[in-house]
Amino acid sequence: MKKILIFLMAASFIGLAANEVMAGGNTLFIQKCGSCHKSGGKAEVINPADKAGRVWQKYFKRGRHPVDTGISDSDMAAIITYLTNHAADSDQPEAAIIPK
Ligand code: HEC
């Protein structure tokens, strides 16, 4: 019984942690990418659903982005996870988190 309880507590903690990562990626995307990619910004508005998940996963790794974003590796990893989870081919495509 005790073991089951510990397992359930651990499982709900991991669930919470995963949600935190999601929320973080979402906020980081708006803050970091959105600092340039917004209406009236330096670059055109972008959203996760602009590309398929596997395209987002390769985009920065292959140096496709035209300018240095200045975003740290750990923030970038959280953003890429968020973009992939809400990409065009995901279960929950996000087309308008940054309004056009
Ligand atoms: C320092 C400013 C800056 C930051 C920060 C930045 N970008 Fe960009 N990005 C640009 C510029 C400039 C271009 C090229 C001009 C354009 O496409 O509007 C560009 C182009 C792009 C393109 C190509 C546009 C297209 O139509 O295919 C994508 C995709 C992109 N950025 C994604 C991102 C993502 C995702 C982030 C955050 C991880 C990010 N950018 C952060 C400045 C920035």
Ligand 1 lined by 86 (C-beta under 6 Å): no
* CA angle, 18 then 69 then 67, to 5°: 140
What integer is the mean pLDDT of 17-23?
52
Ligand 1 lined by 42 (C-beta under 6 Å): yes
Give residue 11 CA to ligand 1 midpoint distance, Å. 37
Picking from 73, 43, 70, 51, the residue whose alpha carbon sits closest to that of residue 61 is 73
CA–CA distance, 44 with 24 (Å, rounded to integer) = 23
For residue range 43-87, what is the model confidence (pLDDT) as tens digits?
999 999 999 999 999 999 999 999 999 999 999 999 999 999 999
Give residue 21 CA to ligand 1 midpoint distance, Å. 22
